[in-house]
């Protein structure tokens, strides 16, 4: 493990005078093509929609208002709370949380198991978990759709084994979307937990065992608290992309399983074509993600002090 | 001293690990198997054949697939090259720059493409391009890919650079090497494995992207993922399974390649003084 931990200093007089020139390209490219676009999106969410996509440059809160209130077809009815969009957001949060819990239940034992293998086989196990992470997410989601469709291999197998009498309708259900999210982001849970467990000093477990602590108590009271940073990192890596996922709800779900990602896409691709509304939905999604990341950063800095 | 149990091992964890791998691989393997199905139906098994692989290259959709594959590959090569170059410069500026004003802001900016959800990046980029009147097409896809590939290229490059001591550059400088020569002949060869895995990472990320490309590709331009998605919307066809299997094998080859490059990097750690 000599690699990666150079003992000498890494600051050099060679490149520090030109550091601003070295950083300039990344500032310019990301600033111009991502930071400015996000600010522009924020502005768009306060504009008035133009028929068939695009906007009129008139300030309006209509996009956010439409999220919460229903004012009737002509906009002059007394406002009622509109649950359609709120429930899409709540469903997305629920689906993302469900996927996170499922990934944790499968991911933690896997990560722990891999981290306690001998160094040689450990690399192979880890490589096996990493490969699906690099395979195109679209192809993985299509494969899942192929597997669980009404007359697909999963139903055929269960019929053949006599587990069920008629094919289960899995596709287009909330369950299918949940399964798809779990399947998509499972490697994201395993890798950070593995990194934590790998650094864990098993002398703590041995000390607890010598004091007659039962095995599962050691796991719960000693191992889990120490590897908690890895668990939290894994949960965030699963929760955040699940929240804004588009492929799993679009390919595995139907109209009743709509999530934020599908709602946003529809505003820019489909017939609804309301750009300010899509921008507002994106802003709400981005704010939720930033809140989660801020909590994470705070928890991390608290752990370090 | 013996304990009544082995404190490292928990009953059932091995089974869960196997279940995890089965879940991860079963859908992919089943699609691979069915891609060799001779039948035109995706449900019934009609024997083993390469019929659908031939169809990918010569069938009615082959022109579309070839064009999409060409777009995907050329965009990925260019996006990975540009983003790796930008990320290498940024890594040297960050790691070798010492403490300076705006360092954490720079780091936040470099990580921004990873933190913003993909669909939000897609929306923001579409709005931006349509506002400034940038024509949607191959060039807009390339620009967007360069942006989100930068942090993926940055991570392995900066990790490698962190393990390299500054004495090599200082020695080169003492011998009157120019700044560029110091980078080109001293620092870059030591950083090699990091730069290469950064490039491969950026390449795969660009090749795999669907959501952002789908938003800003404009009419008529397709990459492999958007072509596959468009086709799957009308139902999964056997030729799509063959095409997916090819793409899958390509990704796995790249990952294996980067794995072995990483291994070689470990075998050749940055020299110590």
CB atoms < 10 A from the CB of A133, how many?
18
- With respect to residue A100, please indicate whether it lies within any of the assigned structural domains: yes
**Distance of residue B105 Cα from the nearest chain A Cα, in angstroms:** 10
Does the structure show a pLDDT above 60 at A3?
Answer: no
- With respect to residue A273, please indicate whether it lies within any of the assigned structural domains: no
Does the structure show a pLDDT above 80 at A2?
Answer: no
CA B138-A39-A90 angle, to 5 degrees, is: 95
| Binary contact (B273, A112; C-beta < 8 A) | no
**Distance of residue B180 Cα from the nearest chain A Cα, in angstroms:** 10
Average pLDDT over residues A57-78: 75
**CB contact at 8 A, B220 and B21:** no
pTM of the model: 0.86
Name the H helices within chain B.
13-34, 51-58, 62-95, 103-115, 118-132, 138-162, 167-174, 179-181, 188-208, 211-216, 224-232, 238-267
Q: Which residue in A has a C-alpha nearest to residue B28's C-alpha?
A: A143
> Where residue A262 falls among pLDDT bands split at 50, 70, 90?
confident
Domain tally, chain A: 1
Domain that holds residue A159: 88-267
CB atoms < 10 A from the CB of A104, how many?
17
Average pLDDT over residues A83-101: 90
pLDDT of residue A4: 40
- With respect to residue A232, please indicate whether it lies within any of the assigned structural domains: yes
- Encode A3-23: b = buried (16+ Cβ within 10 Å), e = exposed: eeebeeeeebebbbebbeebb
> Where residue A208 falls among pLDDT bands split at 50, 70, 90?
confident
Which of B7, B98, B208 is facing A136, going by the closest CB pair?
B208
A114 to chain B, any CB pair closer than 8 A? The answer is yes
Which of B14, B147, B269 is facing A30, going by the closest CB pair?
B147
Please report, for the domain that includes residue A203, its CATH number: 1.10.3720.10
Most confident region among A15-24, A217-226, B23-32 by mean pLDDT: B23-32
**Distance of residue A127 Cα from the nearest chain B Cα, in angstroms:** 8
**Distance of residue A6 Cα from the nearest chain B Cα, in angstroms:** 5
- With respect to residue A21, please indicate whether it lies within any of the assigned structural domains: no
pLDDT in tens, chain B (273 residues): 556 567 788 888 899 999 999 999 999 998 888 888 877 777 777 777 877 888 878 878 788 888 899 999 999 999 999 999 999 999 988 888 778 888 888 888 898 888 889 999 999 999 899 888 888 888 999 999 999 999 999 988 888 888 787 878 888 888 888 888 888 888 888 888 888 888 988 998 899 899 999 888 877 788 999 999 988 888 888 888 889 999 989 888 888 888 787 777 776 666 666
A241 to chain B, any CB pair closer than 8 A? The answer is yes
Q: Distance between CA B224 and CA A193 in Å, rounded?
A: 33
- With respect to residue A234, please indicate whether it lies within any of the assigned structural domains: yes
- With respect to residue A272, please indicate whether it lies within any of the assigned structural domains: no
**Tell me: the pLDDT tens digits for A118-172?**
888 888 898 888 888 888 889 999 999 888 887 778 888 888 887 888 777 878 8
Alpha carbon dihedral A51, A52, A56, A61, in 10-degree steps, equals 80
- With respect to residue A130, please indicate whether it lies within any of the assigned structural domains: yes
- With respect to residue A163, please indicate whether it lies within any of the assigned structural domains: yes
Nearest to A107 by CA among A197, A240, A225: A197
CB pairs < 8 Å spanning A and B: 316
pLDDT of residue A230: 87
Element (H, E) at B239: helix B238-267
> Where residue A106 falls among pLDDT bands split at 50, 70, 90?
very high
**CB contact at 8 A, A59 and A47:** yes
A301 to chain B, any CB pair closer than 8 A? The answer is no
Does the structure show a pLDDT above 70 at A271?
Answer: no
| Binary contact (B265, A3; C-beta < 8 A) | yes
A48 to chain B, any CB pair closer than 8 A? The answer is no
Phi, psi of A243 (to 5 degrees): -60, -40
């Amino acid at each position: 493990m000599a690699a990666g931990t150079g003992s000498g200093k890494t600051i050099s007089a060679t490149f520090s005078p030109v550091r601003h020139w070295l950083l300039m390209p990344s500032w310019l490219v990301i600033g111009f093509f991502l930071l400015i676009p996000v600010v522009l999106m924020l502005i768009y969410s306060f504009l008035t929609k133009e028929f068939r996509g695009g906007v009129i440059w008139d300030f309006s809160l209509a996009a956010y208002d439409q999220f919460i209130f229903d004012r009737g077809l002509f906009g002059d009815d007394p406002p009622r709370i509109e649950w359609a969009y709120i429930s899409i957001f709540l469903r997305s949060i629920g689906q993302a949380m469900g996927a996170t819990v499922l990934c944790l239940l499968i991911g933690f034992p896997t990560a722990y198991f891999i981290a306690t293998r001998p160094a040689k086989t450990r690399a192979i196990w880890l490589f096996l978990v990493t490969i699906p992470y690099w395979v195109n997410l679209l192809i993985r989601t299509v494969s899942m759709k192929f597997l669980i469709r009404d007359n697909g291999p999963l139903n055929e197998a269960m019929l053949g084994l006599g587990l069920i009498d008629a094919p289960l309708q899995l596709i287009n259900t909330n369950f299918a979307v949940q399964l798809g999210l779990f399947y998509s982001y499972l490697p994201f849970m395993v890798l950070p937990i593995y990194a934590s467990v790998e650094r864990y000093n098993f002398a703590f477990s041995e000390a607890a065992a010598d004091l007659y602590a039962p095995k599962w108590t050691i796991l719960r009271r000693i191992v889990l608290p120490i590897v908690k940073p890895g668990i939290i990192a894994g949960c965030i890596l699963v929760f955040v992309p699940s929240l804004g996922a588009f492929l799993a709800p679009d390919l595995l779900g139907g109209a009743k399983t709509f999530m934020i990602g599908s709602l946003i896409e529809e505003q820019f691709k489909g017939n609804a074509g309301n750009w300010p509304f899509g921008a507002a939905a994106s802003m709400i999604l981005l704010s939720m993600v930033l809140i989660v990341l801020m909590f994470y950063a705070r928890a991390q800095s608290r752990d370090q002090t | 001293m013996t304990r009544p149990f082995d404190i490292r091992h928990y009953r059932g964890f091995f089974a869960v690990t196997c279940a995890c791998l089965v879940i991860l691989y079963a859908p992919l393997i089943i699609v691979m198997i069915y891609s060799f199905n001779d039948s035109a139906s995706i449900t019934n098994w009609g024997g083993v054949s390469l019929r659908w692989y031939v169809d990918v290259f010569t069938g009615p959709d082959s022109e579309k697939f070839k064009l999409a594959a060409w777009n995907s590959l050329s965009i990925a090569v260019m996006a990975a090259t540009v983003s790796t170059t930008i990320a290498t410069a940024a890594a040297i500026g960050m790691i070798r720059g010492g403490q300076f004003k705006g360092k954490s802001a720079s780091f936040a900016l470099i990580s921004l493409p990873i933190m913003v959800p993909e669909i939000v990046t897609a929306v923001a980029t579409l709005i931006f391009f349509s506002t400034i009147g940038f024509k949607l097409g191959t060039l807009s896809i390339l620009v967007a890919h360069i942006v989100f590939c930068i942090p993926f290229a940055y991570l392995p490059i900066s990790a490698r650079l962190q393990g390299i001591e500054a004495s090599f550059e200082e020695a080169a400088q003492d011998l009157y090497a120019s700044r560029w020569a110091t980078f080109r002949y001293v620092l870059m060869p030591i950083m090699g494995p990091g730069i290469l895995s950064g490039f491969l990472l950026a390449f795969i990320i660009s090749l795999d992207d669907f959501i952002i490309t789908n938003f800003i590709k404009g009419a008529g331009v397709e990459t492999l993922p958007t072509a596959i998605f468009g086709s799957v919307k009308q139902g999964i066809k056997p030729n799509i399974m063959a095409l997916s299997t090819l793409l899958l094998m390509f990704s796995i080859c790249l990952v294996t390649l980067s794995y072995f490059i990483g291994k070689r990097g470990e075998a050749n750690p940055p020299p110590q003084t």
